[in-house]
A and B are shown apart, each in its own frame.
Chain A
Amino acid sequence: GAVVSQHPSWVICKSGTSVKIECRSLDFQATTMFWYRQFPKQSLMLMATSNEGSKATYEQGVEKDKFLINHASLTLSTLTVTSAHPEDSSFYICSAAGGNQPQHFGDGTRLSIL
């Protein structure tokens, strides 16, 4: 079946650095990718929706300059957390949709900012 690969799965970095997370659809063309944030034992919170070749649409309250999203190809979207701080520590999950495929999720990235 269709697979979405997310990398890295876990990252620890110092406060003030920028972190890039990649989301790849491995065997289908993802015209739309979604980025979510999840806190422990809670549901997914949609951060932004990205369509290939166009600017991402951010949900209310999500800082677009803080969370940069690029969807340059039909198989790759990236989320960059700029100047990360401890409050940005969380579990970030991407999902991809396209063609006849239902929305498939990556395995998530655990981000820890020291």
Chain B
Amino acid sequence: TQLLEQSPQFLSIQEGENLTVYCNSSSVFSSLQWYRQEPGEGPVLLVTVVTGGEVKKLKRLTFQFGDARKDSSLHITAAQPGDTGLYLCAGAPFWAGGTSYGKLTFGQGTILTVHP
């Protein structure tokens, strides 16, 4: 069974601060996805990282996939109240060859609150 440890579970910060969310595992994933979810809605895909060591940027969000494909991080620069939400990381099993056909292993989630 693959596990994905996500931390921190809760994060409450002021507007303008920086933050980092981590996802760690002892298992290797073929890819890792980051989602953002607002209350009463489904998760929305932010990014997929596939290559070990890969770094992807999405405006103020920077995503990194570990060299060994076992861990990932999400860094937000100058957080804004609109960034508030539940952030989820999810790893795709290696046998799926990087596709989404396999079951995703989800982290426990990080509830981010950015105060104005």
Q: Whole-angstrom distance from the CB of B44 to the nearest CB of chain A?
A: 7
Q: A103 to B33, Cβ gap below 8 A?
A: yes
Interface segment among B12-20, B58-66, B98-106: the answer is B98-106
Q: B43 to A44, Cβ gap below 8 A?
A: yes
Most chain B beta-carbon contacts within 10 A, residue among A4, A44, A49: A44
Measured between beta carbons, the chain B residues less than 8 angstroms from A107 are 40-42
Q: How far is it, in angstroms, between the C-alpha of A46 and the C-alpha of B88 when the chains are bound? A: 14
Known: A31-B101, A105-B35, A105-B45; 16 extra A-B contacts, CB below 8 A, are A32-B101, A42-B108, A43-B107, A44-B43, A46-B103, A46-B104, A91-B40, A95-B42, A101-B100, A102-B33, A102-B45, A103-B45, A107-B40, A108-B41, A108-B42, A110-B40
Measured between beta carbons, the chain A residues less than 8 angstroms from B104 are 34, 46, 103
Q: Whole-angstrom distance from the CB of A54 to the nearest CB of chain B?
A: 14
Measured between beta carbons, the chain B residues less than 8 angstroms from A44 are 43, 88, 106
- Chain A residues in the interface with B (C-beta under 8 A): 4, 6, 31-32, 34, 41-44, 46, 49, 91, 93, 95, 97, 101-108, 110
Q: Whole-angstrom distance from the CB of B73 to the nearest CB of chain A?
A: 17
Measured between beta carbons, the chain B residues less than 8 angstroms from A103 are 33, 45, 100, 104
Measured between beta carbons, the chain B residues less than 8 angstroms from A32 are 101
Q: Whole-angstrom distance from the CB of B36 to the nearest CB of chain A?
A: 11
Residues 18-60 of chain B, each 1 if its beta carbon lies under 8 Å from chain A, else 0: 0000000000000001010000111111001000000000000
Residue of B nearest to A102 (CB): B100
Q: How far is it, in angstroms, between the C-alpha of A55 and the C-alpha of B33 when the chains are bound? A: 27
Measured between beta carbons, the chain B residues less than 8 angstroms from A34 are 103-104
Q: B103 to A6, Cβ gap below 8 A?
A: no
Q: B109 to A42, Cβ gap below 8 A?
A: yes
